[in-house]
Amino acid sequence: MNLKTIFLGIIFAALWASASAAAKIGLRSVEPLVLFQVRFLVAGIGMLVYSYFIQKDRLPKGKEWKELAIFGLLNVTLYLSFFVLGVKEVAAGIGSLSTATNPLFISVLSAFWLGRNIKFSEWFAVLLGMIGVGIACFPLIQNSYATPVGLLYMFLCMLSYSVGTIYYSNIDWKLTRTAINGWQVFLGGILMLPLTFLMHNSPNNYDLTFLLSEIWLIVPVSIIAVNLWLYLLKVDAVKASFFLFLCPIFGFTYSYFLLNEPITYHTFLGTALVIVGLYVGQREKLSK
């Protein structure tokens, strides 16, 4: 990888890891799915306006609509619905740490997808990652910074995101990255509407906290970070996962300074195990 790719990868990790802290702040004012429903629709419309009025992209056609809808369902509706429900129940740092284990799931699931045998190193990497997350979560569960239900939601969001990444990588896309991102975010938001109405049970306060949280989640996270991720996947889908190694570090830093969430030796040990697991699982691919 050249210096430009490394620089953009670090920016991606810093922005992507900020989603948990921004979501926790926004949840002080509104319900979980409302927070992300607004984000998806506004970000999707914004990207589509840029795509079709500035870049002059073409509209999707034929089976591309189905492919975009499936990608949006996996990568937006399911992934971020589970994520925002989970991050309400767990510390923001745990949200970032859990997200960082996605490459381990992607590696194992892609093996099933392609019908190849899963290597011992891949299973070992997943085990290290899960143990790492468990160690980091242990004191947080004791001190009510995380709940079993919240951790289940985080697991389901990781699973959905991993399947979505594999699906994206196996499609021969003819659309631009901006068009793909705009449609998958917009369609994913539309598909989430029934869930948002179904789970509505308390009043929402659309105050300055909500507004600032939405602006951050829409521009730096949904637009900039996701487009950077799609760029990194196009450059090298395997080596792109290297930058997810950095997400736990950024995530716990944000949670400590912005949300006053605790960092203990469990945090450092658990994060270290996750990073080792990521390295073990990606070592052969990263060396190519």
User: Residue 231 CA to chain centroid, in angstroms?
Assistant: 15
Q: Judge whether 40 and 186 are in contact, CB under 8 Å.
A: yes
Vertex 251: Cα angle to 245 and 256 (nearest 5): 140
User: Residue 179 and residue 47: Cα distance in Å, rounded?
Assistant: 7
What pLDDT was estimated at residue 50?
92
Q: What is the pTM of this model?
A: 0.75
Q: Which residues contact 197 (CB under 8 A, 6 or more apart)?
A: none
pLDDT of 274 strictly over 70: yes
CB atoms inside a 10 Å sphere around CB 103: 24
Element holding 70 (H helix, E strand): helix 63-72
Q: Which residues contact 63 (CB under 8 A, 6 or more apart)?
A: none
Model pLDDT for residues 223-265, shown as the tens digit of each residue: 899 889 878 877 876 677 678 777 878 888 888 888 887 778 8
Least confident segment among 157-166, 174-183, 211-220: 157-166
Query: DSSP letter at 174?
Result: -
